Amino acid sequence: MNTPDIALLPAPLRGSPRRDRSTPARGAGLRAGVLLLRSLAAAGAFVAVTAPPARALAEAPSAAGVELVVDGAPWTLDPDAVRAAVGRELGASVTLAAAATAGRPTLVLRGEPDGRVTLSYSAADDRRIERTIDVPEDPDRAAEAIALLAGNLVRDEAAELAAAFGKRPPETTPPAQPAQPEPAALPAGAKAAPPRAARPAPSAQARRAARSAPPEPPRCELPGAKTVRLGADVFPFVGTSTIDGANVVRRYSLNLAGGYTAGVTGLELGVGVNIVSSFLCGAQFSAGANLVLGPARGAQLSVGLNLARGLWGAQVGSINVVAGPVTGAQGGALNLATGAVDGAQLGGINVAAGASTDLQIGVANVAVSDATDVQVGLVNLGVGAATGVQVGLTNVAASQSTGAQFSLANLAAGESTGVQIGLVNVATGKVEGMQIGLVNYADESPFSFGLLNVVRNGRLHLDVWGLESGIVMAGLKNGSDHFHNIYGIGIRMTGDRPRMVLSLGLGGRITLGERLYADMDLLAYSLHEPSSINTSAALMQARAVLGVRVFPELAVFGGPSYNVAFGDTAEDARLSPYGSVPLGIDDSDAQRRWPGVVLGVQAF
């Protein structure tokens, strides 16, 4: 019998017919599972390679960005400028919002009454943290400071920033935050995100330039405030402020005993006290006081007190106080500015304690500034890096550099001084120009002209010299490298009686070589009777002498001179041993002239 060829299926090794039927399905499922695991592994590797480290993830709040709510911040801050600065710091989209949105990362900026700001951050997981800092007066620098604080709040590192900005510690300690996770290990070939560049600390020169640069004038607006055309108060908070509230900007403001508003953009008149909490753009007139707790742009005029945190304009009153910079003028009995004065202070007493002071005119002027330009008054005091010009009865400059001083008494206690002209001039440093006065003192001076001049670090020589008239002198020669003063005492032994001689002179020196020099001097001699000390004759002398150092500490000098004598009598004026010529036509004239010679030695 022929049977057909039938391919026999291999018998299963183990199992049941149910398992036999499910085998193809299980194989397909296993293959699909392996494929899924491989896909997940590839996706995980891609995420690990492309994702920043855990620290960088902490810096980015969310892909959707951050909302910024401005709640009564200082009016000098531009909310849009703050938003842009925060966006640059976070590297994320930042949008301005009227109120916080639940479930979204939100920054809330709130102004404090004392000029500080509080910034709080609410994360998407309801975590909340806030800090309060002092911000600079300059709006741009303030926006950068707030942006830096925002970045640190989002990354929960605000403690370091608060210490850097001199933050006042909060009354309650915020709850401890969970520790940041360690950065995950990167797979082979992956690159870590570069660390955020550290912000370099500004140099002293940059800080001084920032203080000296005049700030921008305030903008005449207050975000979030109600604007009205007219407001009037009988007392602060009693009047239209009772109805409208305190957060109001008035175009025109009228007050009786007193008034209070947030801002004025036009004119404010009051009998008592005008109080503005945020800004003034316009003019204030009051019999009592004008008080602006923010910047003032315009004019404040009162019989009593004018006060502002910054001034771009003028203050006229008995007492004018600006707790900040002044760009304009203050005029009153007492003017005080704690910031830079880019303008003038005109009054009885003027005090400026800012980075720079332009002009002060008053009875007493005090400038504690890095740079002071002009002070005109009975008493002027300049303290700082540089003082320009002081004109008064008494000038004191405790500055590193002093320009010119003109008064009865001048004192410059700094490294260098330009010009001093007065009865008494004192410079504890180096005089770059000259001193002209009755008494002059300087550590170093190229030219000091007066009756008594002392140059502490100048030349000092002991001279002994004689004249053809029989006068022998000993004296001191003190001065700078090129100018000197001469103080001498001596005696004239010739003639019918000896006479005591005093001399005072001024001269210049030309160094011709290591051992050779030439002096050109003008000297005055007075001859006195020994018994009565009365002056019997005077001698004026011009001389040109050549000196040669024969030893390192000793030189000999000599040269011609020309002499003019004045005596009580014609005989007293005849001091020349070989004759003299009268200045007049009569030989009995008591004024005689003749050429002479000088010989002497000098000890160094």
What is the CATH number for 82?
A: 3.40.50
Q: Considering the chain, what is the average pLDDT of its residues?
A: 81
Q: Which amino acid is at 361?
A: I
Name the domain boundary from 439, 457, 475. 457
Let me know whether 468 and 594 are in one domain.
yes
pLDDT in tens, 368-389: 988 999 999 999 999 988 999 9
User: Would you state the pLDDT for residue 432?
Assistant: 92
User: Would you state the pLDDT for residue 89?
Assistant: 84
Instruction: Give 156's pLDDT tier (boundaries 50, 70, 90).
Output: low
Let me know whether 268 and 298 are in one domain.
yes
User: Would you state the pLDDT for residue 375?
Assistant: 96
Residue 203 forms part of a structural domain: no
pLDDT in tens, 249-272: 999 999 999 999 999 999 999 999
Let me know whether 598 and 501 are in one domain.
yes
User: Would you state the pLDDT for residue 18?
Assistant: 36
Residue 186 forms part of a structural domain: no
Let me know whether 482 and 590 are in one domain.
yes
Residue 82 forms part of a structural domain: yes
Question: Does this model's pTM top 0.85?
Answer: no
Q: What are phi and psi of 75, to 5 degrees?
A: -65, -20
Residue 584 forms part of a structural domain: yes
Let me know whether 127 and 97 are in one domain.
yes
Name the domain boundary from 117, 132, 164. 164
Give the total number of structural domains in the chain: 4
The DSSP secondary structure of 390-441, one letter per residue, reads EESSEEEEEEEEEEEEESSEEEE-SSEEEEEESSEEEEEEEEEEEEESSEEE
pLDDT in tens, 292-325: 999 999 999 999 999 999 999 999 999 999 999 9
Residue 5 forms part of a structural domain: no
Of the spans 74-78, 103-107, 594-598, which averages the highest pLDDT?
594-598
C-alpha–C-alpha distance, residues 338 and 343, integer Å: 14
Length of the chain: 604
Let me know whether 129 and 146 are in one domain.
yes
Using the predicted structure, report yes or no on whether residue 441 has a pLDDT greater than 80.
Answer: yes
Of 239, 229, 56, the residue nearest 154 (C-alpha): 56
Let me know whether 480 and 565 are in one domain.
yes
Contact between 232 and 219 under an 8 Å Cβ cutoff? The reply is no
What average pLDDT does range 7-25 have in this prediction?
Answer: 39
C-alpha–C-alpha distance, residues 587 and 584, integer Å: 8
Question: 432: domain range?
Answer: 378-457
Let me know whether 550 and 516 are in one domain.
yes
Of 120, 132, 109, 84, the residue nearest 224 (C-alpha): 109
| Higher pLDDT, residue 145 or 234 | 234
Contact between 161 and 144 under an 8 Å Cβ cutoff? The reply is no
Let me know whether 88 and 122 are in one domain.
yes
Let me know whether 538 and 493 are in one domain.
yes
Let me know whether 126 and 248 are in one domain.
no
Q: What are phi and psi of 208, to 5 degrees?
A: -65, -40
